[in-house]
């Protein structure tokens, strides 16, 4: 018989990339995590880890086993859902995560609506970055996440997660009041190709959107200032220090002397909902997804 706890340790090593990182996530010591995998290897009679430089990597046998492990995990989740299918009424804790804009614009109003309509349901929100949302779903510490689609996310075909489109969030050009483009209904990014720019910091998931939008318009922006927060970006624009692309969902300080101008180039980012595989069948998750779709449609409109 395979010990499912040991199998989960192997899945964690694959997810986090190293035994040390997996052990940290599972609250094990690295030696304890390694021992679990060695015992699993002995139980199965195959090698699961092999040396690679100063670390280790999964063997071909381990990669093959992981496909079955993910399927076993998904079937176990389905079994639990089937056992609770008769409960019907959404109740108990619903743990949701999202990045800052998603929490402000979507998850907070979703939680307020669910509190009114389903008083037995307790929504618990945690603001995290996109990568941590996937980690918390994998670890079973979250039931639902709103994430931004990025190249570093797990692929859409990853059997561990159910990722579904929620909305496209367009970027607007933000300029100071009095700027030549401030009164227009739309602006071509090429019109600001020679101006100073304010861009997200290099590690931000939005930075590639800004750089690729400018590239598609035929120029590389002269980035003179970097910001983590969209309101910081807005304040820099308000002081005439440059122009910027800002997602429409980002709520900016209203009294700032700035103007949002829609882009004819139509740059945008995609927001997704994500659950563990099959998680959307849970009554609590299903009603939350319904509210999110309603809120997303209103936000886009």
Task: Scan for tokens 């009294």, then name that residue.
Answer: 255
pLDDT tens digits in sequence order for the chain, 301 residues long: 677 788 888 888 888 888 888 888 888 888 888 888 888 888 888 888 887 877 778 888 888 888 887 777 777 776 666 655 555 678 889 999 999 999 999 999 999 999 999 999 999 999 999 999 999 998 889 999 999 999 889 999 888 899 999 999 999 999 999 999 998 999 999 999 999 999 999 999 899 999 999 999 999 999 999 999 999 999 999 999 999 999 999 999 999 999 999 999 999 999 999 999 888 888 999 999 999 999 999 987 7
Closest CA to 49 of 84, 74, 80, 13: 13
Query: In angstroms, what CA-CA distances link 283 with 120, 127, 141, 294?
Result: 12, 23, 18, 17
Q: Is 288 left (phi over 0), alpha (psi -120 to 50) or beta?
A: alpha
Cα gap 284→94, rounded to integer Å: 7
Q: Residue 80: phi, psi to the nearest 5? A: -65, -40
Q: Which tokens go with 260?
A: 């949002």
Q: Cα dist. 113→18, 68, 141, 168 in Å?
A: 41, 39, 23, 23
Short-list 172, 176, 174, CA closest to 239: 176
DSSP-derived pairing of the beta strands 121-127 and 92-98 = parallel
- Please say whether the beta carbons of 127 and 99 come within 8 A: yes
**Total-model pTM:** 0.77
Q: Which two tokens stand for residue 47?
A: 């090698």
Question: Which single residue is written with the structure tokens 């609770």?
Answer: 84
């Amino acid at each position: 018989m395979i010990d499912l706890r040991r199998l989960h340790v192997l899945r964690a090593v694959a997810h986090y990339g190293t035994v040390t990182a997996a052990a940290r996530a599972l609250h094990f010591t690295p030696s304890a995590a390694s021992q679990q995998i060695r015992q699993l290897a002995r139980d199965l009679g195959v090698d699961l880890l092999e040396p690679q430089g100063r670390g280790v990597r999964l063997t071909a046998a381990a990669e093959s086993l992981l496909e079955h492990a993910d399927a076993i995990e998904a079937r176990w989740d389905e079994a639990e859902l089937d056992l609770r299918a008769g409960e019907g009424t959404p109740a108990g804790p619903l743990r949701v995560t999202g990045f800052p804009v998603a929490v402000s614009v979507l998850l907070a109003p979703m939680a307020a609506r669910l509190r009114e309509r389903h008083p037995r349901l307790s929504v618990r929100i945690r603001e995290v970055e996109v990568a941590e949302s996937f980690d918390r779903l994998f670890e079973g510490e979250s039931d639902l996440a709103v994430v931004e689609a990025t190249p570093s996310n797990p692929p859409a075909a990853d059997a561990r997660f159910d990722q579904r489109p929620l909305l496209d969030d367009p970027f607007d050009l933000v300029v100071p009041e009095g700027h030549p483009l401030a009164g227009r209904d739309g602006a071509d990014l090429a019109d600001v190709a020679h101006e100073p720019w304010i861009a997200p910091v290099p590690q931000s998931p939005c930075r590639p959107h800004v750089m690729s939008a400018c590239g598609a318009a035929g120029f590389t922006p002269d980035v003179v200032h970097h910001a983590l927060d969209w309101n910081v970006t807005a304040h820099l624009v308000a002081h005439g220090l440059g122009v910027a692309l800002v997602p429409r969902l980002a709520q900016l300080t209203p009294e700032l002397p700035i103007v949002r101008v829609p882009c004819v180039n139509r740059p945008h980012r995609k927001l997704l909902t994500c659950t563990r595989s099959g998680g959307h069948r849970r009554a609590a998750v299903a009603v939350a997804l319904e509210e999110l779709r309603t809120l997303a449609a209103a936000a886009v409109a």
